Structure 1
Amino acid sequence: MAGRRICAGYYRRYDGKVVYVISTATDDDTGEETIIWTAYPFAETPKYYTSSKKSFCAFAEMDGERKAKYKRLMNMKVSAAAIERLEDEGFRGPARKRQRRQLEEEYDSREYQQSTTYLAYAKDLCEHYNFDRSKYLLCVKEKRFAAITRSDFAKLKEDLRFLDNALKTVLAEYQDYFRERFVEGLSIRKYAEAHQLNRGSVDYLQKKFFSALALLLKERDEAEGKCRLRKPVQN
């Protein structure tokens, strides 16, 4: 695997954890390639890690099965806000390919209702809203499960309806903010400029919104007696 090319983007570790690879670097003394990455969902305070390319490309044993330690998630797209934050930290954003594959031709490697906390669940719904809605509309238009399983489509539909209804009712005060940030794709910086706010104020608004949505997600699960978070691994 030494010749494997590691590109910026999301990767799923063999144990289910998702990470975002930012870039690669070369050790000046040994010439060894190093992978620079951060955990996903992104923390409020950025924390970065490094792994040798040899370790990153290695295999691991999981439940008696040999798996690649990290597998690329082709359909998880980094948001404009995440790119902006990386650039603010001094990292270059991911290179964009000119050729775009059609949505129906892509394999949906995204997992639904697999967050570890309700706050992460709330962030996941918002950051993937445009992709999820496009996927849903494609399936409805084609009258088939386009690059998605029947069970994942049910989760996708359930989450979209819940979020849309929440924004029309309990979270109506955040409706315009959500549209500008997660539908139109404004970064925190551009949203702040458009509304003549400082970045700290927008960060605080986003934190309030995510917390409010997380609370609703938790209350829904408690009312229905169902947990939509990732189940802990049983030993």
Structure 2
Amino acid sequence: MALKRVFAGFYTRYDGKPIFVVRVLKDIDTGESIVVCKDASFSKEDNEHYYLIRYTSFCEQVEVDGVLRDKYVRQTRREIDEGTVREVYEDGFPEPKSKPFTYVDDEYAERAIRCSRTYYEYAKDICENYRMDLRRYKLIRERKQYIGVSNREAYQAMCEDLAFAQQSLKTVLNDYANLFRKRFSEGLSIRKAADAMQQNRGVIERRQAALYRAFAQLLQQRDEADGVYRLMQKTEYNQRDIEDLLE
């Protein structure tokens, strides 16, 4: 069997499972090549472990519906994002020598504003995009053009959510301010935030979930006080449209 060259980057297993290949190492006793990888499904809280795959196993083919296919297929169109680079580097792995990591200019990526279906999702969305939204805000102010948002309405919504998060952290959510700063202002991973705060990872995960719940409650209270529904509309028709259709 001819062995193919394996690069650092994203691959998809024959059954659709995405993985991120970090690098190829050699077994010190046998000299056998070993592929170091991690799950690339990116359920962030469950994506800290690394896995080893024998090089020969990685390069082999498997039969799927009577057809031989490569066990792992490289995803050349998927760029390596900055978050993945940071996590891998923090764990002690260097950048690949054959090809440098490709950084995505995330400020310019289109930002979907207020597309959450629940207030918990809404709170999580604001927190996880906080750092990048601040960068978008600064660029928009500097360059006098919309960057990462489609129009003035989306820009104003982003600014409103940023301001509300900042004000909430100074008042009702002040107990979570340090966690928020480590995770979402500085962009540390769960593990790195736990180290910085001298807590174990489980405590940080539970505190983060509690932050989302508390923030979600504030977002709902804001909507009720303002008489504005800021979640994704459940239907394209409002109540009057529905009543008209039923007549």
Give the structure-1-normalised TM-score: 0.59
Relative contact order: is structure 1 or structure 2 higher (C-alpha 8 Å, sep ≥ 6)?
A: 1
Residue segments in structure 2 that go unaligned for 5+ positions in a row: 1-8, 20-38, 48-63, 65-76, 92-98, 238-247
Secondary structure of 1:128 counterpart: helix
Return the offset for 1:196.
Answer: 2.7
- In the alignment, what sits opposite 1:111? 112
Secondary structure of 2:12 counterpart: strand
Structural RMSD (CA): 3.7
CA deviation string 1:128-184 (max 9, x = no partner): 111111001111111222342111101111111111111111111211111111111
Amino acid at match of 1:26: Y
Amino acid at match of 2:147: A
The alpha-carbon distance between structure 1 residues 215 and 122, as it changes in their structure 2 partners (threshold 3 A), is same
Matched, 1:183 2:185: yes
1:28-43 to 2 correspondences below 5 Å: 34=16, 36=18, 42=43
Contact 1:119 1:214 in 2 (8 A): yes
Return the offset for 1:194.
Answer: 2.5
- Give the Cα separation in 2 of the matches to 1:73 and 1:167: 36
Deviates more, 1:184-193 or 1:150-159: 184-193
Matched, 1:26 2:14: yes
Return the offset for 1:233.
Answer: 3.2
1:151-166 to 2 correspondences below 5 Å: 151-166=153-168
- In the alignment, what sits opposite 2:204? 202
- In the alignment, what sits opposite 1:219? 221
- Give the Cα separation in 2 of the matches to 1:176 and 1:186: 12
Secondary structure of 2:146 counterpart: coil
1:1-235 to 2 correspondences below 5 Å: 23-26=11-14, 34=16, 36=18, 42=43, 79=83, 98-100=101-103, 106=108, 108-148=109-149, 149-234=151-236
Residue segments in structure 1 that go unaligned for 5+ positions in a row: 1-7, 9-21, 28-33, 47-51, 53-71, 88-95
Amino acid at match of 2:14: T
Secondary structure of 1:24 counterpart: strand
- Give the Cα separation in 2 of the matches to 1:227 and 1:73: 35
Return the offset for 1:102.
Answer: 5.1
Contact 2:45 2:205 in 1 (8 A): no
Contact 1:73 1:109 in 2 (8 A): no
- Give the Cα separation in 2 of the matches to 1:191 and 1:44: 12
Contact 1:138 1:146 in 2 (8 A): yes
Secondary structure of 2:187 counterpart: coil
Amino acid at match of 2:221: E
Please identify the structure whose Cα radius of gyration is greater.
Answer: 2
The alpha-carbon distance between structure 1 residues 79 and 170, as it changes in their structure 2 partners (threshold 3 A), is farther
Contact 1:79 1:127 in 2 (8 A): no
Return the offset for 1:221.
Answer: 0.5
Return the offset for 1:190.
Answer: 1.7
